[in-house]
Amino acid sequence: MGGHATDHGLDDLAATARAALVRAIEASGAWDSAPVWRDAFESVPRHLFVPYYYAGTVSGYERRWGDDPARGRRETWLRGAYADAPLATRMRDGELLSSSSQPSLMATMLVALDVRDGDAVLEIGAGTGYNAALLAHRLGDALVTSVDLDPEITEAARRHLAAAGHRPTVVTGDGARGCPERAPFDRIIATCTLGSIPRAWLPQCRPGARILAPFATGIVVLRVRDAGHAEGRFLHTSAYFVPLRGGAPPGPEPSDRELDALPRGAGRNELFRFLLALTAGTLAVDEAYAIWEREERPQRERYGITVDDGRAWAWLDDPGGPYTWPLP
């Protein structure tokens, strides 16, 4: 029965839990500037997209599912489906392969994507299909394309979307290559962490398009000028996603010994770790620390990325320097 709340007479609990999730997202301030997304989160039932998920326990992971024979455990599954938290949905040998992102972070990203009526959107990383459903609710099925490398993930996403009454285009393919057969796009949103900005994306965008993607441990928003140039800054929020399969791998991470040698616990500071992730392979830890202290521990919004005719670099404050670092 696929874990549908209506199968088990849990309609009221699902409605109550979804309303509580919407209040939690609202309290986070995610859509202060774009309340149109409130209707999407109120209307799209998240539990249809997570018929099962894995919850962390002291001994590892526990599988929770909507067809559990015990009503109490079905209720636990349903409440968890509407928690403002990421949900692990696919694992293999203890490795997380796919997840449903934290809804308040999804809302923050969708607001920053700044879609307008008539915009064609490409989503990189289909996941459960929930994010595609939110986009389809806002724009209509015909304007939303979602691509994922794993055929099991895309097939499951199609089933979940159909159960929720949506049928956007879901493509099995390498997200790093975009989806040229559905181009051009006005917006590209990635739900996986990038190690580089894929070159194939820019030519598939209309001039003025927006690309929003997790990068390092933040989220960058790029404005596309043309097929060879895009530039933009990071949002204020942190973000941790599964890496894009098929894309460039993330850079090397410093050792615990190097981090622990830094003064005042800097090696465990989230903003410093962001700088390390952004400049991986180009700055030694002590060099990064010197810049970080000299620039008064900059927030994420001071950093940006520029792509220009095949070159790409990260920067602090100004794409022309003095602090710039090449990207893969």
- 276 vs 10, residue with greater confidence: 276
Q: What is the CATH number of the domain that holds 184?
A: 3.40.50.150
pLDDT for 9 equals: 67
Quick check: is 88 in a domain?
yes
Quick check: is 108 in a domain?
no
For β-strands 303-308 and 311-316, DSSP reports them as antiparallel
Contact 251, 194 (CB under 8 A): no
Tokens of 246: 């098929």
Quick check: is 152 in a domain?
yes
Contact 145, 121 (CB under 8 A): yes
Quick check: is 216 in a domain?
yes
Do 291 and 224 lie in a common domain? no
Do 15 and 133 lie in a common domain? no
| Residue 68 DSSP class | -
Quick check: is 62 in a domain?
yes
Domain end (from 69, 84, 103)? 103
d(CA 170, CA 154): 6
Domain end (from 103, 124, 149)? 103
- 263 vs 57, residue with greater confidence: 263
- The domain total for the chain is 3
Per-residue pLDDT of 169-207, as tens digits, reads: 999 999 999 999 999 999 999 999 999 999 999 999 999
Instruction: Please name the amino acid found at residue 216.
Output: A
Do 215 and 314 lie in a common domain? no
pLDDT for 7 equals: 52
Domain end (from 246, 273, 303)? 246
Per-residue pLDDT of 108-133, as tens digits, reads: 999 999 999 999 999 999 999 999 99
Do 174 and 197 lie in a common domain? yes
Q: How confident is the model at residue 15 (pLDDT cuts 50, 70, 90)?
A: very high
Do 212 and 263 lie in a common domain? no
- Domain range for 298 is 256-326
Do 240 and 292 lie in a common domain? no
Q: How confident is the model at residue 328 (pLDDT cuts 50, 70, 90)?
A: confident
Q: Is 104 annotated in the active site?
A: no
| pLDDT score of 1 more than 50 | no
Do 70 and 20 lie in a common domain? yes
Quick check: is 109 in a domain?
no
Quick check: is 54 in a domain?
yes
Active-site residue, from 43, 98, 104, 146: 98
Do 238 and 273 lie in a common domain? no
pLDDT for 311 equals: 94
Do 194 and 229 lie in a common domain? yes
In this prediction, what percent of the chain has a pLDDT beyond 70? 95
Whole-Å CA distances, 78 to 19, 198, 243, 276: 13, 37, 28, 38
Do 8 and 98 lie in a common domain? yes
For residue 137, give every residue at least 6 positions away whose Cβ sits within 8 Å of its Cβ, in sequence order, or none.
39, 40, 43, 44, 166
Task: Report, as an integer, the average pLDDT of 32-50.
Answer: 92
Quick check: is 142 in a domain?
yes
Contact 325, 279 (CB under 8 A): yes
pLDDT for 266 equals: 87
Contact 110, 135 (CB under 8 A): yes
Q: Mean pLDDT score of the chain, rounded to an integer?
A: 92
d(CA 326, CA 328): 7
Do 188 and 238 lie in a common domain? yes
Contact 39, 18 (CB under 8 A): no
Exposure pattern of 129-139 as b/e (b: 16+ CB <10 Å)? bbbbbbbbbbb
pLDDT for 4 equals: 47
- 34 vs 199, residue with greater confidence: 199
Whole-Å CA distances, 79 to 21, 68, 70, 82: 10, 14, 15, 5
Do 153 and 71 lie in a common domain? no
Task: Report, as an integer, the average pLDDT of 201-228.
Answer: 97
